[in-house]
């Protein structure tokens, strides 16, 4: 048996049996897992398995970028426009939408998503 055959066979699972793994968790994480297990009437082992399955099935986390912020703003504009009175003049509708999207001028310096003005 070659070295590569030993490596493959050491991680393989016998037919009909689940693999057993040992992992280290910080105490705070283990406490959270135990609380989740208790809330879902599961053993610690089943809770870890279910949480891993949930995590693997979840959509991958993407860092919010410029493209995402534009899409979010477009969606906000669409929702605000749907809520505004249709009888408003177009320039008044645009002014109200901008005011809600940009926020009040007194908070512009506090916004972290806007560039800071140079003094």
What pLDDT, in 10s, does the model give residues 101-116?
887 777 777 777 666 6
All residues at 6 or more sequence positions from 81 whose CB lies less than 8 Å from its CB, including other chains: 93, 97
> What residue spans define the domains of the chain?
22-57, 66-110
Reduced to 3 DSSP states, what percent helix, strand and coil does the chain have, rounded to the nearest 5? Answer: 60, 0, 40
- Please say whether the beta carbons of 76 and 101 come within 8 A: yes
How does the average pLDDT of the chain come out, rounded? Answer: 80
Which of 2-11, 30-39, 61-70 has the weakest average pLDDT?
Answer: 2-11
pTM attached to this predicted model: 0.39
pLDDT interval class at 64 (50, 70, 90):
low
């Amino acid at each position: 048996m070659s070295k590569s055959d030993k490596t493959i066979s050491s991680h393989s699972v016998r037919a009909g049996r689940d693999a057993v793994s040992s992992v280290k968790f910080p105490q705070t994480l283990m406490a959270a897992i135990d609380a989740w297990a208790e809330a879902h009437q599961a053993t610690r082992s089943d809770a870890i398995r279910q949480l891993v399955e949930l995590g693997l099935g979840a959509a991958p986390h993407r860092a919010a970028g410029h493209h995402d912020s534009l899409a979010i703003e477009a969606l906000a504009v669409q929702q605000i426009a749907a809520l505004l009175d249709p009888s408003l003049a177009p320039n008044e509708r645009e002014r109200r939408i901008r005011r809600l999207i940009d926020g009040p001028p007194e908070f512009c310096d506090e916004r972290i998503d806007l560039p800071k003005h140079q003094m």
